[in-house]
Structure 1
Amino acid sequence: MANILVVEDEVLISELIRRNLSLVGHGCDPAFDGDEALEKLSGGRYDLMILDVMLPKRDGFAVMGEAEGLPTIFLTARDGLNERITGFSLGADDYIVKPFEMLELLARVEAVLRRTQKHAGTFELDQARVDFGSRQVYRGDALLELVWGYDFEGESRTVDVHIQKLRRKLGWEERIKTVYKLGYRLEAHG
């Protein structure tokens, strides 16, 4: 999943965002002011930045000006037209006004990542390979499951049943976790 820098000076909001992004499988680093954000950007590799405008030391617009093409979602209480235009003119991919709904933020993060990531790639764990581009899972070169690759108008628990079968077939009972009201996540460590 993506490595995301969350630049938010309000500790509780930062923690809430980071916990929810982690629940869906993203790695998150916090920064609580503009200077710390630039320091982390210079020393780390990020796929996306969630950025507040009103920050101590250096505001979000100044940070964005030095972020060099990093996909960015502004998340701020500043809702004026001039601020939004400034954000987009600096290259922001999205602009969300506080207060915000967490599920909407998660959906917008996924949308920006889909648009900006160069290649879907693959992920390997234990003896299984997940091909994100084709949405196929292999174990030892054998196709295990194509989710939604067929016409079926059955119960709404169809995905749950398939995930249960995947858990058993891959031996990932402790790796594929259910995320309440969101879906599933794969835990690669632990």
Structure 2
Amino acid sequence: MGSSILVIEDSTPIRIAIAAALTVAGHSVVARGDGDLLEVDLAEFRPDAVLLDVMLPGSDGFALLEIVRRRTDAGILMVTARDAVTDRLHGLTEGADDYVMKPFEMAELVARVDAVLRRRGRGSTIVHVDDLVVDADAARVLRGGTPITLTATEFRMLCFLARRRGRVLTKTQILTAVWGYEHYDPNLVEVHVSALRRKLEEHGPRLLHTERGLGYTLDSARPTDVPS
């Protein structure tokens, strides 16, 4: 299961895009345009992590950071267009776990959120699927005890699939999570799935399954799904 993420960002397009990317990544998301309901959200939604824009109407992100840190142990990631070193130092010294500058790649933002969650013990770093072991923190993949060498893109794709074991993921979801965009040719997903599947099947039966007309799922080997 994903974590609960509270997003406070006053730009509607950016807020919608962040919420969509985090939802696709398997998290439960509440997104606000300001911090007026922050204390209610902290009490009722109980987020595992909070994304705070610095420039907000009303109380700015630094003021909200103090409230979040005082009332919860949630991970905090500051998101802002400010590029001054003093702003970054202010956020980090006041308790932020990470600081992301706009503009950013959505895939990088999701990865940073996951990293903050892991550092705070909110996310599992190792996933087992039959004899396949995917260790996100160690950047290591084993199949039957044998290390498998993957490209950076193949590894990101495998981690995304592994964290959602058994769920059917569409090409659009994979594109958004791995590349950060929805505008690539969907054939890009097919090419990388084929390459990843080939490497995994060098050491055992098929685990990366195609659900025709729907997408892909990483799950236990199926007796009728013979590698081709």
Label 1:180 to 1:67 Cα distance change in 2 as closer, same or farther (>3 A). Answer: same
Query: Which of 148, 164, 176 is equivalent to 2:168?
Result: 176
Deviation at 1:70, TM superposition (A): 2.1
Whole-angstrom distance in 2 between the partners of 1:185 and 1:40: 33
Question: Alignment length, in residue pairs?
Answer: 157
Whole-angstrom distance in 1 between the partners of 2:62 and 2:217: 33
Which structure has the highest strand share of the two?
1
State TM-score, norm by structure 2: 0.59
What residue in structure 1 maps to residue 132 of structure 2? Answer: 146
Identical columns (%): 38
Contact persistence 1:23–1:185 (CA under 8 A)? no
Q: Unaligned 5+ residue runs, structure 1?
A: 121-131, 138-143, 164-169
Whole-angstrom distance in 2 between the partners of 1:136 and 1:49: 28
What residue in structure 1 maps to residue 47 of structure 2? Answer: 46
Deviation at 1:154, TM superposition (A): 8.4
Query: For residue 177 of structure 1, what is the amino acid of its counterpart?
Result: L
The one-character-per-residue Cα deviations of 1:22-80 (angstroms, maximum 9, x if unpaired) are: 11111100111122223312322111011001111211111110113321100011221
What residue in structure 2 maps to residue 73 of structure 1? Answer: 77
Deviation at 1:155, TM superposition (A): 9.0
List aligned pairs for 1:50-65, cutoff 5 A.
50-65=51-66
State TM-score, norm by structure 1: 0.70
Give the root-mean-square deviation of aligned CA atoms: 3.0
What residue in structure 2 maps to residue 37 of structure 1? Answer: 38
Is the partner of 1:28 in helix, strand or coil? strand
Deviation at 1:8, TM superposition (A): 0.3
Whole-angstrom distance in 1 between the partners of 2:16 and 2:99: 20
Query: For residue 110 of structure 2, what is the amino acid of its counterpart?
Result: L
Q: Unaligned 5+ residue runs, structure 2?
A: 134-140, 179-215, 219-228
Label 1:42 to 1:152 Cα distance change in 2 as closer, same or farther (>3 A). Answer: closer
Whole-angstrom distance in 1 between the partners of 2:3 and 2:149: 33
Deviation at 1:119, TM superposition (A): 6.8
